[in-house]
Structure 1
């Protein structure tokens, strides 16, 4: 991939990872990119690097613009290895004595990752660095999504280099939001749901702080995916909504099944929800991916989970989904549990206990049916769905 000039003297020199399909258990069927940014001024600055296997590509991209040895300053907004893996090669080229700007925790993390003795310059929130005609201002963004995270803001160009904030896992030659397809907002939503939802309260405070500061943002440059230049306010508004965990008039019915009995129940519950006018999405776990499920959970008012009983436990795929969901801390949802069983039937209580541990508001005791649901059992599921739909509509 050739460098892309994103403004006068400013380039994206990052790389595309076409083949990655899993990122910490998150499905990346569109691949990803590792963006890095070169600013040419009286001082030349490189903001972030890339994953280690792509280090030579990064160096090649920089070399198309300037001799990498002429880089005066390196900035590390976030120390996770997809953004710092190439640092050893970069610092060896530019010189270990060149200043490496990062947060205070970033310096600690980098020293833990790499044995090299680099010239760390830990910065405070609001600290500035003059590059000549341009000025970088550093904004501490702790826990978006690591303790070391920070943003870098180029004051004169109104460009926010946002590290993992506002990103998407997307591989493509389209560099900007107005060049990419309409799926970009869905990819951004998926990224937030699976990477950042856990930190929603902190992100909300940061957004409020940035807005209150009055800084002008004409472009947002995350370290993954496309850059937001057409309407940066659109993704900022979406982050406000997601950080407040605002939900739609919608339920997701998530289930797995052994012999179709739990599936029959799921369909009946979904029918009951739909009859109240609430939206509903039916998700079979083994036909989906946990990260796709969480994308739907992000704006769902109700999460209803169904499981058959296997070996006196909930079904393994259901346990996997609930464990993943619990770690991301969706808040303020309506919850429900249901399932079928042969001779023991512990799964429904176990599912309900997991949802209660997430502080979901549970809708009564969910249907727990033995063997194949009969007409009365299906009617009970439809009625349960209606209760859920009514609870959603009452919010």
Structure 2
């Protein structure tokens, strides 16, 4: 499959309808994904990125229908991760001397993955490549989301090839932002940002400001996953500016795991207390053992406050709760508050552990949390409701 974006650029990637997990098992892809590769034809011909390795043969076969691959003058690798570079090994067997344009870090990573000394050309921000009528301008974008990442701008067509930036794991036969369900699109774009780019929000803000300062006319943004932004493409740039700037909606998320429902009952009564004190705040209750972890991170990303609950087990906390806290640590959320809660039978360390771990994660703890012994009675549940009311005061 391929389709013409315009007379100069053709999409030659792969839509992966069946993808359910990404980055190993770290990222859930409920809507599949795509690996977007682009062919640019001018006096010179450029291949922009490739596809994931399992689709190599299909990719090369389809590419040959669009161009004599021996007439590809340059390959541009905006990012070296295997979902973008996986087809390189077989492709380079056929066109071994074709120059590969990438950042200095890109050379190092591609050599690390494939152990090949290809014809690398290192580029940095501001470097250009003349194609004839058009010109490519390279913009380094380190840590969006790998050290080697860069964007490439195509003059005349005013297209920004942004690789993982502004992408989504979202499979669609329509391929353009104005052709797909808008709520689905933004849900997947937000999930992508929350779960992949959040740790690098400082760099996101800096890079977007840098790109905007170049005063480039951007008529289209072509990422390497998901749909292409052609209708008001700057809308996703503006969303990234919001998401990168300590984003939070008027929401509190309660994440818990429970052995015999005692901590669950606490979570529900804490939620009752919150809503009784502020009916405008959105409250989400998530069982970390039964919910998709990436969807849980989205809810935390949206929240001003996150409450984490766990029963005490073996002087510690339940594994699903520990996993979510470990993810929170890695995402380095800014500007969020939190607290712990949980039930216990005899030792009761869970709330203290949760509080300490939240503080290590950069979450400002509101208080020392609340714990209740065994199966909470009505007095205990009322204390949970009061705890919920007190949380609202900190919003």
Where in structure 2 are the equivalents of 1:170-185 lying within 5 Å? Answer: 170-182=170-182, 183-185=184-186
Q: Could you list the per-position Cα deviations for residues 270-296 of structure 1 after superposition, in whole angstroms to 9, with x for gaps in the alignment?
A: 112222132111111122111111111
Count of aligned pairs between the two proteins: 390
2:341 counterpart of 1:332: no
- Distance across 1 between alignment mates of 2:332 and 2:155: 35
Q: CA offset at residue 70 of structure 1?
A: 1.3
1:353 to 351, 356, 361: 356
The alignment status of 1:129 with 2:129, answered yes or no, reads yes
Separation in 1, partners of 2:310, 2:107: 46
SS at the partner of 1:286? Answer: coil
Aligned twin of 2:20: 21
Please state if 1:314 is matched with 2:313.
no
Is 1:299 matched with 2:298? no
2:239 counterpart residue number:
238
**Alignment deviations for residues 118-138 of structure 1 (CA, whole Å, 9 cap, x no partner):** 110000211000111110000
- Separation (CA, whole Å) in 2 of partners of 1:86 and 1:330: 35
- Alpha-carbon distance in 2 for matches of 1:360, 1:147: 26
Q: Residues of 1 paired with 2:246 and 2:44: CA distance?
A: 42
Residue equivalent to 1:66 = 67
Query: Tell me, what secondary structure is at the counterpart of 1:387?
Result: helix
CA–CA separation in structure 2 for the residues paired with 1:7 and 1:321: 44
| TM-score normalised to structure 1 length | 0.97
Secondary structure, in 3 states, of the residue corresponding to 1:173?
coil
Q: What is the match of residue 211 of structure 1?
A: 212
Q: Which structure 2 residues correspond to residues 135-284 of structure 1 after superposition, within 5 A?
A: 135-182=135-182, 183-275=184-276, 276=278, 277-284=280-287
Shift of 1:64: 2.3
Q: Is the 8 A contact 1:14 1:58 kept in 2?
A: yes
Q: CA deviation at 1:172?
A: 2.4
- Judge conservation of contact 1:245–1:298 (CA < 8 Å) in 2: no
Does structure 2 conserve the Cα–Cα contact (< 8 Å) formed by 1:308 and 1:339?
A: yes
2: CA distance between counterparts of 1:296 and 1:69? 48
RMSD of aligned Cα (Å): 1.1
Contact 1:331 1:358 in 2 (8 A): no
C-alpha contact (below 8 Å) 1:14/1:35 kept by paired residues: yes
* CA displacement at 1:210 relative to structure 2: 0.9
- Contact preservation (8 Å) 2:49, 2:78: yes
Q: Which residue does the alignment assign to 2:112?
A: 112
Measured in 2, the distance between the counterparts of 1:358 and 1:325 equals 6
How far apart, in 2, do the equivalents of 1:109 and 1:360 lie? 33
Q: 1:260 to 1:147 in 2, by over 3 A?
A: same
**Counterparts of 2:375 and 2:362 in 1: how far apart (Å)?**
31
SS in 2 for 1:117: coil
- Separation of aligned partners in 1, 2:126 and 2:322: 44
Moved more, 129-138 or 281-290: 281-290
Please report how far the alpha carbon of residue 367 of structure 1 lies from its aligned counterpart in structure 2 after TM superposition.
Answer: 1.5
TM-score normalized by the length of structure 2 = 0.97
Which residue matches 2:5? 6
Cα distance in 2 between the residues matched to 1:388 and 1:197: 25
- Cα deviation for residue 61 of structure 1 reads 2.2
Residue 206 of structure 1: how far off its partner (Å): 0.4
Name the CA distance, whole Å, in 1 between partners of 2:168 and 2:161.
14
Q: Does structure 2 conserve the Cα–Cα contact (< 8 Å) formed by 1:363 and 1:387? A: no
Q: Report the secondary structure of 1:287's partner residue.
A: coil
Q: Per-residue deviation at 1:20?
A: 2.0
| Uncovered stretches (5+) of structure 1, i.e. residues with no partner | none
Name the SS for the 1:298 alignment partner. Answer: helix
Question: After TM superposition, where is structure 1 displaced by more than 2 Å over at least 4 residues in a row?
Answer: none
How far apart, in 2, do the equivalents of 1:165 and 1:32 lie?
14
1:245–1:299 Cα contact (<8 Å) kept: no
Q: Is the 8 A contact 2:329 2:362 kept in 1?
A: no
Cα deviation code 1:136-159 (max 9, x no counterpart): 000000001110100011021110
